[in-house]
Every structure is written in structure tokens, then in C-alpha cells.
Amino acid sequence: MKHILIILSMALLFVACKGKKETSDDFKYQIDKFADIKILRYKVPGFENLSLKQKKLIYYLSEAALSGWDITWDQNFKHNLVIRKTLEEIYKNYEGDRNSENFQKFLIYLKRVWFSAGIHHHYSNDKFLPDFSQEYFTELINNSPKANFPDCFKTKEELINTLKPILFDASIASKKVYQSTDKDMVLSSAGNFYENVNQHEVDEYYKKLTDTTDKNPISYGLNSKVVKEKGKIVEKVWKLNGMYGTAIEKIIFWLSKAKDVAENDLQKQTIEKLIEYYKTGDLKLFDEYNILWVQDTASIVDFVNGFIEVYDDPLARKAMWESIVNFKNIEATRRTEILSANAKWFEENSPVDNKFKKKDVKGVSAKVITAAILGGDLYPSTAIGINLPNADWIRKEHGSKSVTIENITYSYDQAALRSGFLEEFAYSKKEIERARKYGFISGNLHTDLHECLGHGSGQMLPGIKAEDLKNYHSTIEEARADLFALYYIMDKKMVELGLLPSLEAAKAEYDGFFRNGLFTQLVRIEPGKDVEEAHMRNRQLIAKWCYEKGKDDNVIEFKKKNGKTYVVINDYNKLRTLIGDLLKEIQRIKSEGDYETAKTLVENYGVKVDQNLHKEALERYTKLNLAPYSGFVNPVYTPVYKDGEIIDVKIEYPDDYIKQMLYYSEKYSFLPFYN
């Protein structure tokens, strides 16, 4: 499932300890900071050295990636497009005091809405409320006489009366993704995947469609909204001439241009199949596209574009729209090629039960990439690694492609220099020195192992589907991949293959992962809240389970020094054994579709927060004046024309977050306010 994220990532909170290397680079990485967020830039090294054809391909694919701008907003919440338009019109046209404290609070709220593509926090999924009053909201609208507010409202009063409860009432649409089984998860989630239906109705609808004997099962529901109309449940498919059709039309337009400058015939066929899928919405064509895409390992330029990941659906069916355009970092890809070449060895030596191992490891390809553009659910906050496709049968029969996005991890690393985070939360000078020396290397290798081999490992028993684990599927899948990476990064094979200089580097990864999973990731959570996001649950599940199971041998210890708490690993080898034990059980859970055990594991270890630790983490982190979440502005690609033909594509690195967001809304708003 197949993202390792830094919004969704283990590395963000301890990125400051990921190999802090000094640099003479004077590029300004951090350009803005507000609320709990910092905005960064990323370089695209090597773009200028690409051929003209490759540059044109990146430009066209980038336009396709940006053309889905509206889709993600609407998927997150059905009122988001109206909200965005209203807030942007206020920002551009308000004639009151723009230097006032209230207007600055409005600006922070607008920036947060942009960052999350809506009014729900991009990580916790909780609705965040404005820090200004309802009365001031009314004043903002009434004192923006030149604003072009959404035309689906006849008057300003109607607009105000509609948006006030949505924005200011904490009980309305309070959570984008509701994952607890104490309520109906469909009715309790604000995401725009279902309307006028409940969880039981959705489950029954898809149960009738699913053929449990099909060895190549369709990912039913991946690209549609389920609604009840006139008492009948129907799917509104996301396709040309369907839901989101006006945006998909633009995506198809740019993909068609990209097809004509494809690097080879297979890549051209892949893009053609994606276009055919977008036109029809036929999920069989989506599978055919994925099979072609995973086979294309020769192209330098590559992309992801479509309805891909199901993290934001509590039933793990509906996929968010996303895109990333990239090209291969040939030098850095050496390490992932080594992993791919040894995939069979890793599968055979895994601690999991033999019946859950792949008998024949096929098509595991991996590379290190340079991101060229981020779009949809991968913008502004993005993954640091991706492993696709998601369909287990395609992965088993045709393989998978894994990437580590190194220019993104490098930007995080550079932005984290001299943050003081490591010094505050690492127990000893030895830990700090080890992290500085090896952290960047081991962190990237963890991502490689997680994406290239972790997600690609193992097999499910016949008839078992990912949806069998329901709301726990994403957490279990990410735990499986992280455990795989943690287990093997401490194997001497890493040194033998030349991927690590020594197992001291692996210890740096263990230090950071368990410090984060048990303690420092808590700074992302509001006081009194549970852990909600799947990747955070995964990390706490692993760390807390290993801590509890290793108590008798004091494998992991909470130590006190000068009144502060620290996470200390006392026995790295025993910890690796525990990791292997948990990997074995997690693989069994996935392979057998064991929902009840998945629920027990996640709820017992991944959800609840130690309130004393939480309070201490927040107090110590606050003093550092850091932001726990990061996202990016994209570079800008401008074609250079001569006699009507593109003769070059120039790249620029903007440093204005507000300007980019307004530009995207102006250029790429293709959907009606309500879909």
C-alpha cells in the first residue's frame, strides 16, 4: 500500500538525526512556517541534462499531474471546493485591515486549508477550526465587494449561512476518516466517497459483486462514489463523461501529448492504456495498465497518475487521486538494483511461515528517483517512497516497481540541519554521533527495503482480499513492510552486499525508529487524542509490542536523565528477534485475512497514548520552535518555443507558497463546486 510517507513517514520527526551532513548548498529549502507546518522546496538535480524529448515528456506529464488539482479537494470533503473558492476570494479582495491580528489568523487558516486540500488535518483527519470568530468571517465576506464568490449561492447571506456551521461547528463533519468500530464508519467519515448509504449497505453491495474464486480479482469500488438515489444504490464512476469528467478530460489531453514523446513503445502503450481506462472507468483496463506499467523498467522518465491509495477510505476500497512525475537517479539506483537482484534470497530467508512466502519471486524492480512534480494526494505533503501496483495478484504474477525519492529526503535533511531535535531527544552522545554518521544512509536503505522488498514480499491465501482487514488493512500492511525493513537492515547481508558500512549504521536506524514510535511522534497528536493515522499506528504498534515483549530482558528501556525521558535500546540483537517474531505474525494476519487479530493488535498497541509521555514530548518539542509536518512547493516548468515548436523546457524554483496555491486554483480549477 504502498507509500512510505514523511507526512506519512517515520523520518519526519527524527529527520534531524538522519545523517546531518554539512553542505555548501545555499539553496533556501524552507520558505514558510505556520501552525504545525513548514513549507519546503526541493531541487530537481539532473533535469538540465535530460534530452529535449525527456524534458517535453516531463512537462506534459506534469501538466497532467496538476490537472487533477480539484479532484483531491472534492474527494476529501464535498464542500471543500466552495470553501477554497470563498477563502481565496476573501484573500484577494478583502478591503479591511489586512494587518490586523484577525486577518493574520484568517491567513493561517487559509494556508492550512491549502496544505490539507480541505478543512481536515492532512495527518490526523480531524477537522481544524478557524481561530477567528463567526462574526469576523461574516465581516470578511461583506467587506470583499469585488470578490467573485461561488455562483452556486444566490446571495452572500446564503453563502455565509451555509459555510458557518461547516467551518465553525466542531460536531459537523468532525473527522475525514473514522476508523473506530464503535460507530458506522461510513456515516461517521466526512470523506466524499459515500452519500446516503451506511456501512452495512456498502459492504453488502460489494459482497454481491465480488467473486471469491477469481484469481485475478477486480479492485471493485476503487474509482467511484457510492450513493443511494431513489432508494437504489449506484456507483458514480470517476471517468470521462462521468464524475470528475471535466478534470479527467484535461488529464487525458496532457497524457495524449506525453504519449507522443514516450521514450519507447512500451511506455507509449502504457500511457495509451491509462487514457483508455480514464475514458471508460473500466477497472479491468486499470489492471492491464498496471501490468504494462510495472513491466516498463527501461524508461528513465516515469510517473504515477490515477486513483491509487485507499488510506482515506475506512473500508479500504476508494482511492484518492494522486500523481508524481520523476526520472531515474542512475547513480543512486545501484543500491536498489542490488536489493532487486537478491529478492529471492530475502524471501527465502524471511522468518515468516513458508506457506505465506512467494514460491517464485517475479519482477521486483526498484530504483532511486528524482521527483519532478507532485500532484493530487501527493501534494504538498508527499511520500519518500512508493511501491506499486497495489493489487496483490498483479504483484505476485507480474511484480512491482519500488522507488525511493531521494531529492525529497535530501530536502528534508537539509531543512533539518541544526534544528536541535536530535540533541533534545537522543539519550547519549554515542547515539547522536551514530545518527550523524550513518542516519541518512540507513534511513534511505530502510525506505528501499520497505518499498522494494517489504511490500513486495509474501503472498495471500486463495480467496483472501485486502479488504478483509477493513479499517485495519493500511496499518497492518505498513507494519508488515516496516518490520521487513527493520528485520533485514540488521542482517550482516547488508554489509556483505555493500549497502551498509557496518551494522552500527543499522543501530542508528533502530535508535531513530523506536525513539519515534514510542515517544517523539506523539508531538503530532493533540492532547487527549488517540493515534489515528495508519503509518503512526504502525510505528507505535511495532515499537510498543517489542517494548512489552522484551520487558523481561530489558531489551528497550525508558531512561530518565535530568528529569527527562529517553528511549534506549539495550540489546539490538534481541530486538531484531522480536521484530522477526512480529513480522511472522503480521504476515500471517494479512495472508489469512484475520480481521479479529488485526483489530486486537492495532487497538492494544497502536492506538492509545501514554498521556504523561505525550505531555512531556509536547513540552520539550515546543521549546525547539519546530513544525512537525512538512510539505513542498513544486518547481515550475516553462516550455521555450521557436516557430511553434518546443525547443527547450526551463525549470524555476518558486519561493512563494501563497502565490503557487492561488496560481493552481486559477489555472487548474476544472470541476464544478459540487460533483
SS3 sequence of 538-560: HHHHHHHHHHHHCHHHCCEEEEE
* Element of type H or E holding 227: strand 224-229
pLDDT in tens, 345-381: 999 999 999 999 998 887 678 899 999 999 999 999 9
CA–CA distance, 222 with 498 (Å, rounded to integer)? 40
Pairing between strand 364-376 and 320-328? antiparallel
Contact 279, 295 (CB under 8 A): no
Contact 351, 581 (CB under 8 A): yes
Pairing between strand 556-561 and 564-569? antiparallel
DSSP β-bridge partners for residue 633: 41
3-state secondary structure of 425: helix
Report, in this order, helix, strand and coil percent for the chain, each rounded to 5: 50, 15, 35
CA–CA distance, 143 with 162 (Å, rounded to integer)? 18
Q: Is the peptide bond before 654 cis (omega within 30 degrees of 0)?
A: no
Contact 556, 514 (CB under 8 A): yes
Give the residue among 656, 666, 659 at the shortest CA–CA distance from 31: 656
Longest dimension (CA), the chain: 76
Q: In one letter, which amino acid is 624? A: L
Contact 23, 410 (CB under 8 A): no
Q: How far is CA 343 from CA 298, 362, 456, 670, in A?
A: 19, 9, 9, 44
DSSP β-bridge partners for residue 236: 225
For residue 417, the model assigns a pLDDT of 67
Mean per-residue pLDDT pooled into runs of 10, the chain (675 residues): 42 38 68 96 97 98 98 98 98 98 98 98 94 98 98 97 98 95 96 98 94 91 97 97 98 98 98 98 98 96 97 96 97 90 95 94 84 98 92 91 91 81 96 92 92 90 89 95 98 97 97 98 92 94 98 98 97 98 98 97 97 96 93 98 97 98 98 97
Residue 27 CA, chain-centre distance (Å), reads 25
For residue 419, the model assigns a pLDDT of 82
HEC profile of 280-298: HCCHHHHHHHHHHHHHCCC
Neighbours of 395 (CB within 10 A): 27
For residue 651, the model assigns a pLDDT of 98
Q: What are the sequence ranges of the domains in the chain?
A: 3-22+29-69+242-632
Contact 675, 82 (CB under 8 A): no
CB environment 140-169: b (16+ within 10 A), e (fewer):
bbeebeebebbeebeeeeebbebbeebbee
Give burial (CB, 10 Å; 0-12/13-18/19+) of 647: exposed
Q: How far is CA 48 from CA 54, 193, 257, 298, 480, in A?
A: 10, 41, 21, 20, 39
Q: How far is CA 148 from CA 47, 118, 137, 153, 163, in A?
A: 39, 20, 16, 11, 16
CA–CA distance, 327 with 332 (Å, rounded to integer)? 12
Cα-flanking dihedrals φ and ψ of residue 389, to 5°?
-80, 170
Q: Is the peptide bond before 635 cis (omega within 30 degrees of 0)?
A: no
- For 143, which DSSP code? T
Cell readout for 196 is 446516503
Radius of gyration (Cα) for the chain, nearest Å? Answer: 24
Cell readout for 300 is 528513465
Give the residue among 454, 320, 451, 432 at the shortest CA–CA distance from 386: 451
Task: Find the length of the chain.
Answer: 675
- For 460, which DSSP code? P
Q: In what order do the strands lie in the sheet containing 30-34? A: 30-34, 37-41, 629-633
- With a pLDDT cut of 70, the percent of the chain lying above it is 96
* Element of type H or E holding 40: strand 37-41
For residue 26, the model assigns a pLDDT of 76
CA–CA distance, 18 with 442 (Å, rounded to integer)? 8
Give the residue among 382, 368, 375, 303 at the shortest CA–CA distance from 39: 382
Report H helices in 449-490: 473-489
